[in-house]
Structure 1
Amino acid sequence: MRSRPYVLMSVASSLDGCLDDTSTTRLLLSNEEDFDRIDDVRSGVDAILVGANTIRSDDPRLLVCSAERRERRLRAGLSPTPIKVTVTESGKLDPGARFFTTGECEKVVYTTSGASDCLRERIGDVCSVVDAGDPLDVRILLADLAERGVGRLMVEGGGIVHTMFLSAGLVDELQLVYAPFFVGQADAPRMVHPAVFPQGPQQRMTLAETRQIGDVVLLRYLPRQDA
């Protein structure tokens, strides 16, 4: 039995590695066909994780959109949408965000030891708040999710979260979609932040699949990790 969930990271990026631009309008990096593919991937996991910055900036619902896929999950004895998970060091989360208010599913927030009591008092009625150490330790997070029955975790961003998981060698599969354009802004949010990554020149990832999806391309990599 695995001591942690299988971690699938899903990223959509511009050709110059940006997750968004600096405007106040969300930048659409993918297309309808790929959004449907992502919905299918979501329907097959036990939990979906995004960082607190993503919740603050995008206010995502993180739901399985297809009625047929939700029904399939219900027939399997699952919630219509996977467990929603986020991580925060600051504890700055709005309990009115759609992450908390939408979806018939469990919501879990992992935070630092120093922020856990305050955050539990403030938003503990809309989610479970879990102390994941100080500094926040991704391995504690994954071990707790495993205890909650999570076998497959989908990590959807943003850059801080990508860096956290990849630099720790805790990603089993990377699904990377490239949009056919450049953002070209120095301050635009990036796919990863500077860090020491085990997936460097001396330990190249395995390219498992390439797929054209309309005007975007999916690259599926299998990183080596420390397990």
Structure 2
Amino acid sequence: MIRPHVLLSVAVSVDGYIDDRGAERFPLSNAEDFDHVDRLRAESDAILVGAETIRRDNPRLLVNDPGRRAARVAAGRPEYPLKVTVTRSGDLAPDLNFWHHGGEKRVYTTDSGFPVASVALAGLASVAALGPAVDFAALLDDLGALGIGRLMVEGGGHVHTAFLAAGLADEIRMAVAPMLIGQAAAPRFVRPAAFPGGPARRFHLDGVEVLGDVAVLRYFPKRSGAS
């Protein structure tokens, strides 16, 4: 079975934070970067965010450019990528924006979370159980069986950490914003974990693109950066 190509997409401050400690989402990106992310969404078969991100940010997670949506339809693809989320508890409110915009939705959860999510999201999303814990390799196997060839993962930190710790990320798109957040308790791109190869492992840097005042770095973590 062929698993999807997994692209992790994240915007960080120069000091490595993805948000501040405020109640509202802190704007790290600029208009050029948002448009680039929209293009990557349009090129993807599915977009994944964690349940924590859905609860905190209440995103719609759409392809916003109508020309890109039209191009998807003209190519015989759904207007919007499949929207995917992951939750251990299955506790997701049915009134969140995620369920009421865009196309099909799929929820991955645990055996214990399955009945909770199935009831709460009846008619809004398909729900699949991955066992006693969330198994991200099994998640990718299931998406591959559904015909998903390219998966864009937009966070949050727990989800990005899980993909990287399991060695399942093929590519990282990191937009670095020219600012410092400096709040010790603010969320970072990844949490502490035992990553493959440890700190001696250097990723392959494929390129750097300037989008206004944001630098976008493209890494391939499964390739070595050493010459």
Regarding TM over 0.5, the answer is yes
Shift of 1:82: 0.3
CA deviation vs aligned residue, 1:30-52 (integer Å, no higher than 9, x gap): 10011000000100010000000
**Aligned equivalent of 1:82:** 81
Shift of 1:76: 1.1
Contact 1:19 1:190 in 2 (8 A): yes
CA deviation vs aligned residue, 1:156-193 (integer Å, no higher than 9, x gap): 00000000000000010100011111111111111101
Q: How does 1:46-57 map to 2 (within 5 A)?
A: 46-57=45-56
**Aligned equivalent of 2:16:** 17
Extract unaligned runs of 5+ from structure 1.
none
**Aligned equivalent of 1:91:** 90
**Aligned equivalent of 1:40:** 39
Secondary structure of the residue aligned to 2:164 is helix
**Aligned equivalent of 2:210:** 212
Q: How does 1:76-225 map to 2 (within 5 A)?
A: 76-103=75-102, 105-198=103-196, 200-224=198-222
Secondary structure of the residue aligned to 2:112 is helix
Extract unaligned runs of 5+ from structure 2.
none
Secondary structure of the residue aligned to 2:56 is helix
Secondary structure of the residue aligned to 1:143 is helix
Q: Residue 58 of structure 2 aligns to which amino acid in structure 1? A: D
Contact 1:175 1:218 in 2 (8 A): yes
Within 2, Cα distance between the matches of 1:199 and 1:162? 17
Shift of 1:153: 0.2
Distance 1:20 1:81, change over 3 A: same
Q: Residue 221 of structure 1 aligns to which amino acid in structure 2? A: Y
Q: Residue 167 of structure 1 aligns to which amino acid in structure 2? A: A
| TM-score, normalised relative to structure 2 | 0.95
Contact 2:104 2:125 in 1 (8 A): yes
Contact 1:71 1:80 in 2 (8 A): yes
Secondary structure of the residue aligned to 1:189 is coil
Contact 1:47 1:150 in 2 (8 A): yes
**Which consecutive segments of 4 or more residues in structure 1 shift more than 2 A?**
199-203
Number of residue-to-residue matches in the alignment: 223
Within 2, Cα distance between the matches of 1:179 and 1:131? 37
Shift of 1:199: 5.3
Sequence identity, in percent? 51
The Cα RMSD (Å) is: 1.1
Contact 1:20 1:189 in 2 (8 A): yes
